[in-house]
Amino acid sequence: MVYTKENPLRLFEVCAGYGSQALALKRLHEYYPEFEYELTGWCEFDPESKSPLEKQPAVIAHDALHPEGIGKNWGDLTKMDWSLVPDFDLLTYSTPCQSISAAGLQHGFAEGSGTRSSIIWYVRDAVKIKRPKFLMLENVKAMVSKKFLPMFNLWQTELERLGYANFAKVLNAKDYGVPQNRERIFLVSIRMDELDGLAGKVQYHFPKPFPLEKRLKDVLEDKVDEKYYLSDERLKEFMPQE
């Protein structure tokens, strides 16, 4: 399938944040001008925020970076009626990592557990109803740690039951041009009929690493406004206590 202006790749972002997946497709278009995509919709909602949806920080950032998506935010994933959502080809879902990350309490993401990370199971409704051609999960590496690997495999099994072939790999940002040691698990799922009946014979190849040419100092600004400085009081919080 070739995605052109007449037939763009239709994207829907779940737990979109500022829209990193849409940014990736924009960059892909810069490298390959003949490639086109369309942001058909997204959902982003902070249940702990007291601000109206349109004034929540992530929503403001997404609107600023992707003006074509203004008015297309469906809000709370757990309350969506997917039958009302326009069709799309690619579903990306960077669901919350707080209950999985080593920096959190690691309560997990079991279905029905009520943790923030467990809302991943609401993505299943989108897959059942909309049947997108492609799915892409991005999350912290801890999702495939010894503690959570069984649950991750259960999610893959669920997608297989729904007719998708899965390809998973941990990638590090420093291997792809970003001066940051940041490991993330990526799970790419392809609807089986898109593989032309060659299930078990088709492989998805993740991008190959390449040497890092930038260092952190290459991207940091030489002069920074003092409003971004930490106060002495805040600095004390980072200092070891005697």
Is the CB of residue 94 less than 8 Å from the CB of residue 139? Answer: yes
DSSP conformation class of 173: G
Query: 229 in helix, strand or coil?
Result: coil
DSSP codes joined into one string, 35-68: --EEEEEEE---TT--S-GGGSHHHHHHHHH-GG
And the tokens for 78?
A: 């757990």
Angle (nearest 5°) at CA 235 between 231 and 239: 165
What's the rounded Cα separation, in Å, for the pair 84 and 138? Answer: 25
Is the CB of residue 41 less than 8 Å from the CB of residue 85? Answer: yes
Helix (H) or strand (E) holding 185: strand 183-191
Q: Cα-atom radius of gyration of the chain, to the nearest Å? A: 20
Hey, how many other C-beta atoms are within 10 angstroms of the C-beta on 208? Answer: 7
Residue type, 223: K
CA–CA distances in Å: residue 42 to residues 122, 131, 204: 14, 16, 25
Set 14, 77, 97, 143: catalytic member: 97
Catalytic site includes residue 15: no
Catalytic residue positions, numbered:
97
